[in-house]
Amino acid sequence: MTSRTGREISIINPGRFAALSERALPWLAGATVVCFCVGLYFALWASPEDYQQGATVRIMYVHVPSAWLALFTYVVMTSAALGTLVWRHPLADVAAKCAAPIGAAFTFVALATGSVWGKPMWGAWWVWDARLTSMLILFFMYLGLIALWRAIDEPSRAARVTSVIILVGFVNIPIIKFSVDWWSTLHQPASVIRFDGPTIHSSMLIPLLIMASAFMLFFATVHLAAMRTELMRRRARSLRLRAARAVR
């Protein structure tokens, strides 16, 4: 058991991660482009218009995947925060730090496209609805965490502080998910991720899932690339520190 755990940890050590990610990145990037091409074809041309919402239903194919990824990114950051605090894994902090800007971008896209969809359907760009407000809080949490990482110079201290805040902030994730059930809101209830299965027709569900896969692959590609960059930056920092110590 001990040796198995040891082998698992050695697979995800920074050196082996760099080698594995270098091989995986071109495949992931290629799959992302293919998935986006197929998804956009279905989303903009091959899928039907909604009988009530008309063409605006096509906004769903970018709005919903970006909202899912905004939440998923935070779940990744929470797992990484646990990895930092509990197992002190050297890659966990790197994973959390690199996910934050991507999560912020997805949250921004979900809020902005939701606003563009809300104007023709609700007659307002913005309402202080439970779902919208909790998503806005998530966006500010991402920005706050990015600012905190930049404010603390010492990486291990920054990792500990941000990990605690990430874990505390996780309380917002179930609030976002269930806000449409717990409160009376203008935002429609869940129609895909439900205990009793999706209520959306397959002609719209399939394009939505293809676009969601494209967003997920995009996240994996950019996140891996950003992690490789962060490892490079940390190596440069340790070389500089070693040189500075030697001068003293």
Shortest distance (Å) from residue 194 CB to another protein:
24
Residue 243 interacts with another protein (CB under 8 A): yes or no: yes
Shortest distance (Å) from residue 53 CB to another protein:
8
**Candidates 50-58, 135-143, 171-179, 186-194; binding stretch for another protein (CB under 8 A):** 50-58
Site for another protein in 19-48 (CB under 8 A): 44
Residue 97 interacts with another protein (CB under 8 A): yes or no: no
Q: Which of 35, 62, 94, 100 binds another protein (CB under 8 A)?
A: 62
Alpha helices, DSSP H only, in the chain? 2-11, 14-41, 60-82, 90-122, 130-151, 155-169, 172-182, 202-247
Which position has the token pair 């001990």?
A: 2
Separation of alpha carbons 202 and 214, rounded Å? 18
Site for another protein in 167-196 (CB under 8 A): none
**Candidates 53-61, 83-91, 168-176, 190-198; binding stretch for another protein (CB under 8 A):** 53-61
Q: Which of 17, 39, 63, 72 binds another protein (CB under 8 A)?
A: 63
- In terms of Cβ atoms closer than 10 Å to its own Cβ (0-12, 13-18, 19+), residue 218 is buried
Residue 59 interacts with another protein (CB under 8 A): yes or no: yes
Separation of alpha carbons 39 and 159, rounded Å? 37
Q: Which of 91, 108, 127, 177 binds another protein (CB under 8 A)?
A: 108
Q: Which of 116, 137, 158, 165 binds another protein (CB under 8 A)?
A: 116
Written as one string, the DSSP assignment of 164-176 is: HHHHHHTTHHHHH
Closest CA to 25 of 223, 230, 221: 221
Separation of alpha carbons 50 and 54, rounded Å? 5
Measured from the Cβ of residue 176, the count of other Cβ atoms closer than 10 Å reads 21
Separation of alpha carbons 133 and 235, rounded Å? 40
Shortest distance (Å) from residue 220 CB to another protein:
13
**Candidates 6-14, 77-85, 198-206, 229-237; binding stretch for another protein (CB under 8 A):** 229-237
Residue 97 near residue 154, CB atoms below 8 Å: no
Separation of alpha carbons 65 and 58, rounded Å? 12
Measured from the Cβ of residue 212, the count of other Cβ atoms closer than 10 Å reads 20
**Candidates 84-92, 100-108, 132-140, 156-164; binding stretch for another protein (CB under 8 A):** 100-108
Separation of alpha carbons 209 and 56, rounded Å? 18
**Candidates 12-20, 81-89, 116-124, 163-171; binding stretch for another protein (CB under 8 A):** 116-124
Residues in touch with another protein (CB under 8 A): 44, 54-56, 58-59, 62-63, 66, 101-102, 105, 108-109, 112-113, 116-117, 119-120, 218, 222, 225-226, 228-230, 232-233, 235-237, 239-240, 242-243, 246
